[in-house]
Amino acid sequence: MDALVLLGSLFALIAIGLPVAYALGAAALVGALWIDIPWEAVMLKISDGVRNFSLLAIPFFVLAGAIMAEGGMARRLVALANVFVGFIRGGLALVNILASSFFGCISGSSVADTSSIGSVMIPQMVRAGYPRVFATNVTIAGSVQAILIPPSHNAVIYSLAAGGTVSIAHLFLAGFLPGLLLGLSLIGLCIFIARRRGYPKGEPVPLRQALRVVVEAFYGLLTMVIILGGILSGVFTATESAAVACIYAFLVTMFVYRDYHWRELPKLIHRVVKTVAMVMILIGFASSFGYIMALMQLPAQVTAFFLTLSDNKYVILFLINIMLLVLGCLMDLAPLLLICTPILLPVVKSFGVDPVHFGMVMLVNLGIGLITPPVGATMFVGCAIGKVTIEQVTREIWPFYVAMLVVLGLVTYVPEISLFIPSLVKF
Amino acid sequence: QQKLVLKASDVHPLGYPTVEAIVRMGKKLEAATNGRLSIQMFPSMQLGGEKEMIEQAQIGALQIARISVGPVGTIVDELNVFNMPFVFRDSKHMEAVIDGEIGTELLAKISENPQTRLIALGWMNAGSRNVYNSKRPIRTTEDLKGLKIRMMGNPIFVDTMNALGGNGIAMGFNELYSAMQTGVVDGAENNPPTYIVQNHYQVAKYFSMTEHLIIPEIFVFSKRTWDTLSKEDQALLRKVSREAQTEQRELWYKMEEESVAKMKASGIEIITFADKKPFQDAVKPVWEKYGGKYSALVKRIQAVQ
Amino acid sequence: MQDAYRRAMDALYLACIGLAGASVVVITLVVPWGVFTRYVLNRGSAWPEPMAILLMVLFTFLGAAACYRANSHIAVDMIAGAMPPPIRRMLAILVDLLLAALSLFMVVYGLELCVTTWHQVIAEFPFLSTGITYLPLPLGSALTLLFIIERMWIGPPPHGSIVYNDSAIEKD
Ligand code: NA
Ligand code: NA
Does residue B299 sit in helix, strand or coil?
Answer: helix
CA distances from A401 to A137, A382, B58 (A): 10, 16, 51
Say how many Å lie between the CA of residue B143 and the centre of ligand 2: 58
Instruction: Round to whole Å and give the CA distance between A225 and A319.
Output: 37
Residue A224's pLDDT band (cuts 50, 70, 90): confident
- Domain coordinates in residue numbering, chain A: 53-279+298-424
Which of A46, A269, B213, A15 is CA-nearest to residue C66?
A: A269
User: Read out DSSP for A344-380?
Assistant: HHHHHHTTT--HHHHHHHHHHHHHHHTTSSSS-HHHH
State mean pLDDT over A101-108: 87
State mean pLDDT over C30-46: 81
Contacts of C50 in chain B (CB under 8 A): 153
Residues with CB under 5 Å of ion ligand 2 are: A 329, 369, 372, 375-376
Chains in contact with chain A (at least 3 beta-carbon pairs closer than 8 A): B, C
Contacts of residues A29-37 at CB distance under 8 Å and 24 or more positions apart, as own/partner, are: A29/C102, A29/C105, A30/A5, A30/A6, A31/A2, A31/A5, A31/A6, A31/A289, A31/A292, A31/A293, A31/A296, A32/A292, A34/A2, A34/A5, A34/A6, A35/A2, A35/A292, A35/A295, A35/A296, A37/A292, A37/A295, A37/B61
Minimal-distance CA residue of chain A relative to C13: A270
Whose atoms come closest to the Cα of A61: which ligand?
Answer: 1
Does residue B118 sit in helix, strand or coil?
Answer: strand
Contacts of B58 in chain C (CB under 8 A): 116-117
State mean pLDDT over B69-97: 90
Provide the pLDDT for residue B210.
95
Give the relative orientation of helices A355-369 and A333-349 as an angle to the nearest 10 degrees. Answer: 150
Say how many Å lie between the CA of residue A319 and the centre of ligand 2: 18
User: Read out DSSP for A226-284?
Assistant: HHHHHHHHTSS-HHHHHHHHHHHHHHIIIIII--S-GGGHHHHHHHHHHHHHHHHHHHH
CB A57 within 8 A of CB C52: no
Q: What is the DSSP letter of B212?
A: E
Of A363-367, A370-374, B277-281, C16-20, where does mean pLDDT reach its minimum? A370-374
Contacts of C116 in chain B (CB under 8 A): 55, 58-59, 117
Q: Is B133 left (phi over 0), alpha (psi -120 to 50) or beta?
A: beta
Locate all alpha helices (DSSP H) within B100-207, ordered by sequence.
101-112, 155-164, 176-182, 192-197
Is B115's CB within 8 Å of C116's CB?
A: no
Say how many Å lie between the CA of residue C49 and the centre of ligand 1: 25
State mean pLDDT over A94-99: 93
Element (H, E) at C28: helix C2-39
User: Read out DSSP for B238-262?
Assistant: HHHHHHHHHHHHHHHHHHHHHHHHH
Say how many Å lie between the CA of residue A81 and the centre of ligand 1: 17
Instruction: Round to whole Å and give the CA distance between B18 and B64.
Output: 12
Q: Which of A29, A45, A349 to mutate to test the interface with B (most CBs of B within 10 A)?
A: A45
CA distances from C26 to A246, A253, A275, B169, C50 (A): 12, 19, 18, 22, 13
Give the highest mean pLDDT range of A31-40, A72-81, A304-313: A31-40
Provide the pLDDT for residue A314.
93
CA distances from B125 to B188, B252, C140 (A): 20, 7, 42
Element (H, E) at B211: strand B206-214
Is A22's CB within 8 Å of C31's CB?
A: no
Provide the pLDDT for residue C172.
35
Q: Is B60 left (phi over 0), alpha (psi -120 to 50) or beta?
A: left
CA distances from B1 to A335, B4, B7, B30 (A): 43, 9, 19, 14
Residue C171's pLDDT band (cuts 50, 70, 90): very low
Instruction: Collect all residues from B whose CB is shorter than 8 A from any CB in C.
Output: 51, 55, 58-59, 70-71, 74-75, 115-117, 148, 153-155, 158, 162, 167-172
Count the neighbouring beta carbons within 10 Å of the beta carbon of residue B25: 26
Is A60's CB within 8 Å of C99's CB?
A: no
Q: Name the minimum distance, in Å, from the CA of A143 to any CA of chain B.
A: 30
Contacts of C56 in chain A (CB under 8 A): 50-51, 55-56, 59, 280
Does residue A318 sit in helix, strand or coil?
Answer: helix
Nearest by CB to A44, from B55, B175, B184: name it.
Answer: B55
Instruction: Round to whole Å and give the CA distance between A381 and A385.
Output: 6
pLDDT over 70 at C44, yes or no = no
pLDDT over 90 at B240, yes or no = yes
Instruction: Round to whole Å and give the CA distance between A352 and A356.
Output: 12
Which residues 28-57 of chain B have a CB within 8 Å of chain A? 42, 45-48, 51-52, 55-56
Q: Which of A11, A20, A22 to mutate to test the interface with C (most CBs of C within 10 A)?
A: A22
Q: Cis link prior to B192 (omega < 30° from 0)? A: no
pLDDT tens digits for B26-68?
999 999 999 999 999 998 888 888 888 999 999 999 999 999 8
Contacts of C46 in chain B (CB under 8 A): 153, 155, 158, 170
CB A104 within 8 A of CB A148: yes
Instruction: Round to whole Å and give the CA distance between A313 and A299.
Output: 18
Provide the pLDDT for residue A168.
86
Say how many Å lie between the CA of residue C74 and the centre of ligand 2: 13
State mean pLDDT over A7-13: 92
Residue C168's pLDDT band (cuts 50, 70, 90): low
Instruction: Round to whole Å and give the CA distance between B75 and A23.
Output: 36
Instruction: Round to whole Å and give the CA distance between A216 and A32.
Output: 55
Chains in contact with chain B (at least 3 beta-carbon pairs closer than 8 A): A, C
Burial class (CB in 10 A: 0-12, 13-18, 19+), C7: exposed
Q: Is C40 on the interface with A (CB under 8 A)?
A: no
Share of residues in chain B with pLDDT > 70 (%): 100
Is C59's CB within 8 Å of A59's CB?
A: yes
Report chain B's mean pLDDT, rounded to a whole number: 92
Contacts of A167 in chain B (CB under 8 A): 177-178
ipTM, two decimals, is 0.88
pLDDT over 50 at A53, yes or no = yes
Share of residues in chain A with pLDDT > 70 (%): 100
Residue A186's pLDDT band (cuts 50, 70, 90): very high
pLDDT over 50 at B226, yes or no = yes
Report chain A's mean pLDDT, rounded to a whole number: 90
The edge-to-edge listing of strands for the beta sheet with B269-271 is B167-170, B148-151, B187-190, B128-133, B206-214, B269-271
pLDDT tens digits for B94-143?
999 999 999 999 999 999 999 899 999 999 999 999 999 999 999 999 99
What is chain C's length? 172
Of A37-46, A111-120, A357-366, A395-404, where does mean pLDDT reach its minimum? A111-120
Is B47's CB within 8 Å of A164's CB?
A: no
Residue A35's pLDDT band (cuts 50, 70, 90): very high
Whose atoms come closest to the Cα of A112: which ligand?
Answer: 1
Q: Name the minimum distance, in Å, from the CA of C76 to any CA of chain B.
A: 29
Share of residues in chain C with pLDDT > 70 (%): 94
Amino acid at position B111, single letter: S
Is A38's CB within 8 Å of B174's CB?
A: no
Instruction: Round to whole Å and give the CA distance between A234 and B135.
Output: 15
Is B55's CB within 8 Å of C130's CB?
A: yes
Residue B20's pLDDT band (cuts 50, 70, 90): very high
Provide the pLDDT for residue C167.
65
pLDDT tens digits for B214-224?
999 999 999 99
Nearest by CB to C28, from A60, A70, A282: name it.
Answer: A60
